[in-house]
Amino acid sequence: MPRNKKEAIAAGIQIAETKHNMHRRKPWHDYHRKGTYMLTMVVEGRQPLLGRVLSSASSPATTSPALAPATTPCASAQGIQAHVELTALGRAIRDEETPKISIIFPMVEVWKLCIMPDHIHIIVRVKEDMPEGKHLGQVVAGFKGGCSRAWWRLMPCTNVQGVVATTSPVSTTTSPVSTTPPPASAATTPAASAAGKNPPLFEPGYNDQILLDNGQLENWKHYLDDNPRRLAIKRLHPDYFITTHYVDIAEWHCQTVGNRFLLDLPQKVSVIVHSAYTDKDYAEYKQRWLACGEAGGVLVSAAIAPREKEVMREAMDRGYRIIWVRENGFPPLYKPSGESFDACSRGQLLQVSPWEYHMQRRIISREQCLKLNRLVEYIANH
């Protein structure tokens, strides 16, 4: 059985291109087999029923993100600490429903739990192949059903809203997941009395990420630990994180994510490395481009050619301002991650795409390259 999409294609398995769907399973993977998974379940309508984010910023920003020194982080974003204060429902899911996973399915271990106001992430390890007729979807369905029954029981206690600012630092430590059975008094109400009468807590389906190596596992653990802080920054600095916000640039109607004030800065250079450049030409241009970034200017590029990627990689590492013009747009609910998230939170990155998001496996054409570079030059010169 192939482990990923690349192996599936190599084995001749046809993978149809479909509309973006966070709940779609991987057709090349056998969900009866052992493995490690990062699961995401979303509350119906994205209602913040599970908790609220409490945040604390060390100091307010005193300078516009677009005009602050390029090497100085935005203080109001960098100083934020945050955690999720769970509702009664959130606590019931953490303390009662999550431990039941390993009780009902002994071959499944819960390695990490992250409860956000309107969704849940769980990292689970299936230690051995499941018995015949059992698969991961049944584990998720049972967990979601238990959470729904807890919601029905606690429904009057689940109304919360938004991010609440605090004046004292708060901890971001995640408590270990308990594996002890819940007390008898915590048993959920019989499903029969509620079946067909109450709505489910979660949207249909779920998203899974198959974690194939320890590096992926550690990255996802860090991602979940940092989730409350990212949400707090996103809400406190919405201009950096507005998804599918459109900006008209010349004849292009572009999607943008990040600090749109970078478009207004007068000092910008286009990073385009032509095939005719000699090594000496490239070295001179690179020095000029990075000098612009050092002086507080913006480097604009589609980063298509290897040497363009090299320049933008160095600019990112140095913390310079960057406008990245990308061939693909942004999927629904997209948000930056990793270093892109941090660069957005400091006001140092804007991602721009003149085209809508797609899921096709294709090599960018020469015509598309020329169009992207034309957009790069326009942004840099206007």
What lies within 8 Å, CB to CB, of 352 at 6+ separation is 247, 249, 254, 255, 256, 323, 324, 325, 326, 375, 379
The whole-angstrom distance between residue 65's C-alpha and the CA centroid of its chain comes to 22
pTM tops 0.85, yes or no: no
The β-bridge partners of 318 are none
Report which secondary-structure segment, H or E, holds 119: strand 119-126
Any residues with CB less than 8 A from the CB of 37 and at least 6 apart, and which? 123, 124, 125, 126, 136, 208, 209, 210, 211
Alpha-carbon span 328 to 373, nearest angstrom: 14
Polymer length of the chain: 382
Higher model confidence: residue 70 or residue 28?
28
**334-379 residue pLDDT tens:** 888 889 988 988 889 999 999 988 877 778 889 999 999 999 999 9
Percent above pLDDT 70 for the chain: 75
Adjacency order of strands within the sheet including 35-42? 108-115, 119-126, 35-42, 207-211
R_g of the chain computed on alpha carbons: 24
Mean pLDDT computed over 255-272: 91
Phi, psi of 148 (to 5 degrees): -65, -40
Band of residue 24 on the pLDDT scale cut at 50, 70, 90? low
Among 39-48, 229-238, 322-331, which stretch is predicted with the lowest mean pLDDT? 229-238
Is it the case that residue 267 has pLDDT exceeding 90? no
Answer whether residue 166 shows pLDDT above 70.
no
* pLDDT (tens digit per residue) in 187-217: 333 343 344 578 999 999 998 888 877 777 8
For the chain, give the mean pLDDT. Answer: 80
Mean pLDDT over 299-321 rounds to 96
